Structure 1
Amino acid sequence: MEIFLRFDLENIDWKSVCEIFEKAPLGTRDPVKLMIASENSAVVCFAWDSNRIIGFGRALSDGVTCAAIYDLCLLPEYQSKGIGRLIMNGILEKLQNQNVILYAVPGKQGFYEKLGFKTMLTAMGSFIDMEKMKQMNYISKD
C-alpha cells in the first residue's frame, strides 16, 4: 500500500467516488451532485492508494469558528487500517481549530470518540426525507 492524501479536485473520477459510498456502505450518491457539493466545500480530502481513490471526506466551514464534516467514507478493504483517521486528521488540520460537528453513521460513534468528538445533547435537524432519517437511525422515532 502506498497511501497518500490529496486536497484538490483535479482529475477526480466522481463515479469511482460514488462507488466508495456504495461499498462502504453509505448508500448511493449522484456523481454530479457529489461533485457540486465538493466544489462548494471548504475542504475536500481524497485518500489514494497509488493511482486509485480509496476514501473521501469533506467539510463545510465559515472559515473562522464553525465547520461540519460530511461524507467520510472508505472502501471496506481499507477500513480498520488507520486510513479513516488519516483522512479525519487531514480535514481537521485544514479547518484550523474551528468548532466541528458531524454526522456519525449509527454504530460508528466510537471511531469519532477516539478522535475527541463528543455526543451533542442539543443537536436538531430538519430533513427533506424525515422517514428515511428515522429508518437509518439518525433521528429518534418518536
Structure 2
Amino acid sequence: MALEWTDSLDAVDWEELSALYKVAPLGDKSAANLKIVFTNSRYRCFVHEDGRIVGVGRALADGVDTSYVCDVAVLPQYQGSGLGKQIVAKLVALSHGHKKILLYAVPGKEPFYQKFGFRRMKTAMAIFEDQQLAQERGYLDID
C-alpha cells in the first residue's frame, strides 16, 4: 500500500505516536506532551501506511527568521528506506524563506543531515532539563 502524508492533527493517535518515538528510538515522549508540541509546531508531517504512523517530523517556525526542525522519527522497519530523508526534505522545503533552519542531531547522525546542507555551528548552546544526561548522551561538551 502507498504511503499517505498529512499535516492534520485530526486523527492522530497520540499513544501510537508516543510508541513510535520509543522504538525509533528517540526517547520516552508522553502522548500528552506530543499533542502539545505538534499542535504548537508551524510545520508537521505524519506518514501513514495501512492506517498506522510509520514516520513523523515537525518544525517550529516563526515565519521569517528561524525554523527549527525536530522530532523526526521513523519506525525501525522503515529506517534505511529513504522515508526519514523524505520527511526532512519536506520540512526543509516548508521552512524555505526563513533566514536560518536549525536542528540538533542525535550524536553520530550528523552526516545524515549534512546531505541537506546543514553545517555544524560554532556558537550553538543549550540548557537541558537534565544537563548531566545530555552530556552523557553526547549532546554537550564537557566544560
Is the contact between residue 41 and residue 61 of structure 1 (CA under 8 Å) also seen in structure 2?
yes
Deviation string, structure 1 residues 38-97 (Cα, Å, up to 9, x no partner): 111111111112311011111111111211011111011101111011111111222222
What runs of 5+ residues in structure 2 fail to find an aligned partner?
none
Match of 1:44, SS? Answer: strand
TM-score (norm 2): 0.94
Seq. identity, %: 37
Q: What's the counterpart of residue 15 of structure 1?
A: 15
Match of 1:131, SS? Answer: helix
Bigger mean CA deviation after superposition, 36-45 or 1-10 = 1-10
Whether 1:103 aligns to 2:94 is no
TM-score (norm 1): 0.95
Q: What's the counterpart of residue 50 of structure 2?
A: 50
The whole-number CA distance in structure 2 between the counterparts of 1:5 and 1:113 is: 24
Q: What's the counterpart of residue 134 of structure 2?
A: 133
Runs of 4+ in structure 1 off by over 3 angstroms are none
Write the mapping of 1:29-68 to structure 2, written as runs, cut at 5 A. Answer: 29-68=29-68
CA RMSD of aligned residues (A): 1.1
Aligned residues: 142
Match of 1:81, SS? Answer: coil
Q: What's the counterpart of residue 90 of structure 2?
A: 90
The whole-number CA distance in structure 1 between the counterparts of 2:121 and 2:5 is: 29
The whole-number CA distance in structure 2 between the counterparts of 1:54 and 1:107 is: 22
The whole-number CA distance in structure 2 between the counterparts of 1:97 and 1:20 is: 31
